[in-house]
Amino acid sequence: MTRRFWVFIEQNKGQMHPVASELLGVANCLVSEIADELEKTGEEAVVEGILVGHQVEDLAQEAIQFGAERVYTVDDPAFEHYLNRPYTDALIYLIEKYKPEVFLIGATTLGRDLAGAVATSVKTGLTADCTKLEMGPFRKIEKKLLLATRPAFGGNVIATIVCKDHLPQMATVRPRVFESPPRDLKAKGKVIQEDFKVTPEMLAANLVEFITDENAGVNLEYATVIVSGGKGLGNPDGFKLIKELADELGGVVGSSRAAVDGGWIDYAHQVGQTGKHVRPKLYIAAGISGAIQHKVGMQDSDYILAINSDPKAPIFEVATLGVVGDLYEVIPEMIQQLRARKGAQV
Amino acid sequence: MIHLLVSVKQVPDTTNIRIDPETGSMIRKGVPAILNPYDAHAVASAAEWKRKLGGKITVITMGPPAAEEALQECIEMGADRGILISDRAFAGSDTLATSYVLAEAIRKIHEEDPIDMIFFGKQAIDGDTAQVGPGAAIRLGMPLITYAVDIQEINKEEGFALIERKTESGREIIKTTLPAVLTTEKSIAEIPYAALPDLIYSLKYKPENWSAEEPLMYDINQIGLNGSPTMVAKSGSPEAHEPAETISVEEEGIAGVVENTLNKMLSNISVASLWEELK
Amino acid sequence: MKTEKLEFDVIVVGAGMAGSTAAAIAAREGLKVAVIERGQKPGAKNYFGGALYTHALVDIYPDFFDRQPPLERPVTETGFWFLSNDGVVKATVQGGLVDNDPVDAFVALRSEFDLWWSEQAAAEGAFIIPKTLVTDFLFEDGRVNGVKTDRPQGDLYAPVVIICEGVNNLLTQKLGLIDHDVKINATALAVKQLISLPAKDINARLGLPDSNHGMAISVMGDVSMGLSGLGFLYTANSALSLGVGVTLDALQESGLKPYELLQRYLEHPVIAPLIKDGQMMEYGAHLIPEGGWTTMPRLYTDGVLVAGDAASMVNALHWEGTNMAITAGKQAGLAAVEAHKKGDFSAKTLSVYQDRLSELFVLKDLKQYRKMSAFLKNHPNFMDIYPTFLNDALGMFFTGFGKPKGDLYKKIFRSLTSRRPLLKAVGDLVALGRAVIGI
């Protein structure tokens, strides 16, 4: 019996979403955690990618290079652009055919649209937005189960969920929670084309038009420097200052949920549990109090600088260095000194 | 005349939650229960369309008796009929069981009085899973559009709607047959400030009560703990961090503090490598 | 949607202590009453130290205690703490006359209690409309016959309106019942924290035998940093309520921020150990009308009555406000009932409201204490010199072992006179006495 650990390879316009490679790394980790069981039973475990789209052979190779032993593809013009029903039905077909043990999907807009529909159809358990995944023992069950850990209640509680009697055990993970494994250009694996046809009734809802978003350029999740502003800015204009500092450091502008909810900046900039998870080298939080749901989104940054006038702000608990002061004084001074340092090098 | 249905949830206001440091469980006392904000905007959107096209709105919720208050708020915004689906047997339901309960209730209402569009808020702020809406759609066999930010058109005669949906890379306009299921973002509609007669009506309104057996008989194997493939293995509060080293402007003056800050920052390996590239 | 006129027998503005009481009394007599509350729920906008007084509560509901009201600890020990900058002299009383059954005062949390109090009014038949702000009045033939609210189609009609809008009495001003806005020298801003602690820790730290015993303390001295103000300490079931209130003009002149005063109070060497390891559950502030008689509006006019904080019914020195509000609310309710019986809502008919209150402690005390806030303003020594002197005097006395007592007394005497000439100190005492008696 082969134990299959599946990763959904999300793609858009011929580009693989980085979260898929991140999850391939996770899947391989999970497989290594059941090595003892495999030895005992003599079973085999494989990490397999599931790729749905049109003309996706190159992406299949990429998935193999990031750690998939095998990739199943459903390739048809009808799958060119993501639609819920055709993709859901394709996945259901594959799940019923191959009976995977674990199925990981990136918690992107697409992934969250897809995962719930698939899990419900297959009548299995799904844990969303996991921050930790491992195979571990649960009660007296022989086989290790997927232990999926996630924040709940706005990040105030950390819960570990198991799905003990249903397969596949499904989980979604937000981009950047895990690091991408290294890419092995010499990796070899099998690509299996699956025969699945779309029927007209699957197209009850279809795409009429696609409008690109100016905010689509906001690549917060993979930025190396992020400067974020929050309610402490006092008003939306404060983001101009944030942008100035971000530009000076070659970074991207981020925001707390409060500022987004207040309409000061677009949701694309929101860092946090319900926004984006980030792990930049440098994260500067200005005027952000540091509510748990924000911390959860940025606490993996290499270096965190917090600027806040309230010495008791919770953000100082997660920061590497905290400056207690008025950001409208500190940041302009910082920009000035940074420029001076740069000028001194020339 | 259209019939819109909105499924809502009453949730604790998670921005105000605290954990008891001794027991590790949530302190519920003093934490207000609110109508899930995403659901509130969904109701507001339904109310807008009811005003435009005429018709009615049914709201349903699966929850404890206190969830009546959430229904009341929906009536205040313009809903006509509120149904509380409540029973001890539902306790412990995860998202699969919840989508079963709601889908069956919607199916029954649809049979008696055909529904044109079903709204869910994008996610509930306590679970944050965003799974129940999609789950219900699949069970009902209806098209699903998540992350809806605008409804451009609802055409009952020709049986279609145009929905604008938001993704990371841009916006999609989806044309869907009716009935369809939407999960909505807050931007889909503003919460209206109800007229006084509507508020008074909602204060006097008594929602209908459905149980696990009446008016429809649920399969006990699909509700509550029995119907939930997932369960919580353990839970606790997040780990506490070491507090940061702090320097204060009051003590060192602006220039001094910033210089100190930059020195410390740039002596960190990661930041130093960044700085190398920037210079 | 619905287009019929919204008509009631009585409209009450505000579902606080005065409003819910007026509504309950009027509804009990069979009148159709609407209470319009701007908060999400009754209690959302109310905040105090503080303690409620049993006499007023049972006056409205004789079976009050049988109804399981949400109260915190009974006040079994009460009095004054005089804070110097590093010490305290405590003068409290317990047992004896304070030991009644039921106790005369209970600590309470307003967001819970006010909600419950309004539910009792609803049980009498009053209709509570929350989340709605009354913005103006409706008139017919120059007389008030209803109110406008901030909601669309938001007019409500009634021949009598009882204003219980609280300290920020904008509607009272709008009607011209008072010719000025809240005065900064007659209004205090009180800030407090509710700090949760296990009940047994509270008992141990404050010397209470068990959780059925509680304290209500007025704190004077260092807590207000020389400004005219008072601090307080109340024991909830498993939390301590600590706060400080200072007049707005004092805050303005000193440039101090309210939270700075509170922070200092909580860090005081005598206070800090009481709240050690406690978790802050609530943090809030509220204005308190302290002008009393001097800032009282006209209490009635055609079709209108004013009760509670809106009518400046607070005796700050005795911490009496909620019971005045309840008592006045009751009288307003009764006056409205009588007006309906007569079919006459003129000022003349409604004047019985003021007449009755004049016979009760409400107006009697406000009149008697009318000089008090001016007194405290003009005699700031009571806020700093005397509490510090008290600490020094008693401190010296109790550390005078082995010292010649004659010298000791001279020293104590000098520690007073170096701060305040003896004649002036005597004069202060006399002035205090006069302010209290009301002459």
Tokens 């921020």 belong to which residue? Answer: C257
Q: CA of A205: which chain B residue's CA is closest? A: B176
Strand C160-163 and strand C304-306: pairing? parallel
Per the rule left: phi > 0, alpha: psi between -120 and 50, beta: everything else, B148 is beta
CB C306 within 8 Å of CB C363: no
- Does the distance separating the beta carbons of B135 and A120 come in below 8 Å? yes
Chain A 20-79, residues with CB within 8 Å of chain B CB atoms: none
User: What gap in Å lies between CA A171 and CA A106, rounded to an integer?
Assistant: 8
Residue C273: CB partners within 8 Å, gap ≥ 6?
C205
CB proximity A84 to B under 8 Å: yes
Share of chain C above pLDDT 70, in %: 99
Partners of B140 on chain A (C-beta within 8 Å) are none
For residue B203, the distance in angstroms to the closest alpha carbon of chain C comes to 8
**Domain range B2-222, CATH class:** alpha beta
ipTM of the complex: 0.87
Which pair of tokens denotes residue A309? 């006038």
CB A322 within 8 Å of CB B247: yes
If you write DSSP's letter for every residue of C32-87 in order, what string do you get?
Answer: -EEEE-SSSSTTTT---S-EEEHHHHHHH-TTGGGG------BEEEEEEEEE-SS-
In this prediction, residues C401-408 reach a mean pLDDT of: 90
Q: CA of B77: which chain C residue's CA is closest? A: C1
CB proximity B92 to A under 8 Å: no
Average pLDDT of chain B is 91
Confidence at residue C379, expressed as pLDDT on a 0 to 100 scale? 79
User: What gap in Å lies between CA C404 and CA B87, rounded to an integer?
Assistant: 80
Q: CA of B123: which chain A residue's CA is closest? A: A274
Quickly count: other Cβ atoms within 10 Å of residue A332's Cβ.
15
Which pair of tokens denotes residue A140? 């007296």
The CATH architecture to which A2-203 belongs is 3-Layer(aba) Sandwich (3.40)
For residue A291, the distance in angstroms to the closest alpha carbon of chain B comes to 8
Choose the closest CB to C129 out of B18, B193, B203.
B203
CB proximity A266 to B under 8 Å: no
Which pair of tokens denotes residue C163? 């204003």
User: What gap in Å lies between CA C13 and CA C35, rounded to an integer?
Assistant: 6
- Does the distance separating the beta carbons of B197 and C3 come in below 8 Å? yes
User: What gap in Å lies between CA C420 and CA A337, rounded to an integer?
Assistant: 55
User: What gap in Å lies between CA B54 and CA B48, rounded to an integer?
Assistant: 10
pLDDT at B24 over 60: no
Residue-range domain boundaries for chain C:
6-72+109-181+292-359, 187-289, 373-437
Confidence at residue B21, expressed as pLDDT on a 0 to 100 scale? 59
For residue B51, the distance in angstroms to the closest alpha carbon of chain C comes to 11
The per-residue pLDDT for range C229-270, each reduced to its tens digit, is: 889 999 999 999 999 999 999 899 888 888 889 999 999 999
Which chains border B (3 or more CB–CB pairs < 8 Å)?
Answer: A, C
Chain B 126-165, residues with CB within 8 Å of chain A CB atoms: 126-139, 142-147, 162
Which chains border A (3 or more CB–CB pairs < 8 Å)?
Answer: B
**Quick one: B229 exposed, middle or buried, by C-beta within 10 A (0-12, 13-18, 19+)?**
buried
In this prediction, residues C96-124 reach a mean pLDDT of: 95
For residue B193, the distance in angstroms to the closest alpha carbon of chain C comes to 7
Q: Which of B20, B57, B199, B250 to probe the C interface (max C CBs under 10 A)?
A: B199
Q: Which of B162, B219, B230, B269 to probe the A interface (max A CBs under 10 A)?
A: B230
Confidence at residue A108, expressed as pLDDT on a 0 to 100 scale? 92
The per-residue pLDDT for range C331-381, each reduced to its tens digit, is: 999 999 999 999 999 999 999 999 999 999 999 999 988 887 777 777 777
- Does the distance separating the beta carbons of A12 and B244 come in below 8 Å? no
Partners of A174 on chain B (C-beta within 8 Å) are none
- Does the distance separating the beta carbons of C1 and B203 come in below 8 Å? no
In this prediction, residues B111-131 reach a mean pLDDT of: 93
Chains B and C form CB pairs within 8 A to the count of 45
Residue-range domain boundaries for chain A:
2-203, 214-345
CATH number of A214-345: 3.40.50.1220
The per-residue pLDDT for range B149-177, each reduced to its tens digit, is: 999 999 999 999 999 998 877 889 999 99
Which pair of tokens denotes residue A182? 């290294």
Confidence at residue B20, expressed as pLDDT on a 0 to 100 scale? 65
CATH number of C6-72+109-181+292-359: 3.50.50.60
Chains A and B form CB pairs within 8 A to the count of 278
Choose the closest CB to A153 out of B126, B234, B247.
B126
Euclidean distance between the first and the last CA atom of chain C, given in angstroms as a whole number: 60
Confidence at residue B143, expressed as pLDDT on a 0 to 100 scale? 94
In this prediction, residues B189-207 reach a mean pLDDT of: 95
pLDDT at C19 over 90: yes
- Does the distance separating the beta carbons of A162 and B135 come in below 8 Å? no
CB proximity A1 to B under 8 Å: no
Euclidean distance between the first and the last CA atom of chain A, given in angstroms as a whole number: 65
Confidence at residue C74, expressed as pLDDT on a 0 to 100 scale? 97
CB proximity B87 to A under 8 Å: no
C392-419: buried (b, 16+ CB within 10 Å) or exposed (e) per residue? bbebeeeeeeeeeeeeeeeebeeebeeb
Partners of B256 on chain A (C-beta within 8 Å) are none
Choose the closest CB to B229 out of A163, A305, A306.
A163
Residue C424 pLDDT class (50, 70, 90 cuts): confident
Strand A169-173 and strand A44-53: pairing? unpaired
CB C158 within 8 Å of CB C145: yes
Residue C404: CB partners within 8 Å, gap ≥ 6?
none
Choose the closest CB to C129 out of B21, B195, B200.
B200
User: What gap in Å lies between CA A161 and CA A146, rounded to an integer?
Assistant: 8
User: What gap in Å lies between CA A172 and CA A103, rounded to an integer?
Assistant: 9
Chain A 109-138, residues with CB within 8 Å of chain B CB atoms: 109-110, 112-113, 115-117, 119-121, 123-129, 138
Q: Which residues of B fall below an 8 Å CB-CB distance to C?
A: 18, 21, 30, 193-201, 203
CB proximity C6 to B under 8 Å: yes
Any idea what DSSP says for residue A271? B
**Quick one: B252 exposed, middle or buried, by C-beta within 10 A (0-12, 13-18, 19+)?**
middle
CATH number of C187-289: 3.30.9.10
The per-residue pLDDT for range B44-84, each reduced to its tens digit, is: 999 999 999 999 999 999 999 999 999 999 999 999 999 99
pLDDT at C1 over 60: no
Choose the closest CB to B270 out of A12, A120, A302.
A302
Confidence at residue A345, expressed as pLDDT on a 0 to 100 scale? 64
pLDDT in 10s for each residue of chain A, 346 residues: 899 999 999 999 899 999 999 999 999 999 999 999 999 999 999 999 999 999 999 999 999 999 999 999 999 999 999 999 999 999 999 999 999 999 999 999 999 999 999 999 999 999 999 989 999 999 989 899 999 999 887 777 889 999 999 999 999 998 888 989 999 999 999 999 999 988 888 888 888 888 877 666 678 888 899 999 999 999 999 999 999 999 999 999 999 998 998 889 988 899 987 788 898 999 999 999 988 889 888 988 889 999 999 988 889 989 999 999 999 999 999 999 999 988 876 5
pLDDT at B35 over 90: yes
Q: Do chains B and A touch (3 or more CB pairs under 8 A)?
A: yes
Helix (H, G, I), strand (E, B) or coil at C114: helix
User: What gap in Å lies between CA A72 and CA A50, rounded to an integer?
Assistant: 5
If you write DSSP's letter for every residue of C117-133 in order, what string do you get?
Answer: HHHHHHHHT-EEE-S--
Same topology between domain A2-203 and domain A214-345: yes
In this prediction, residues C293-303 reach a mean pLDDT of: 96
pLDDT at C2 over 70: no
CB proximity A201 to B under 8 Å: no
Average pLDDT of chain C is 93
Residue C205 pLDDT class (50, 70, 90 cuts): very high
For residue B224, the distance in angstroms to the closest alpha carbon of chain A comes to 14
CB proximity C154 to B under 8 Å: yes
Residues of each domain in chain B carrying CATH 3.40.50.620: 2-222
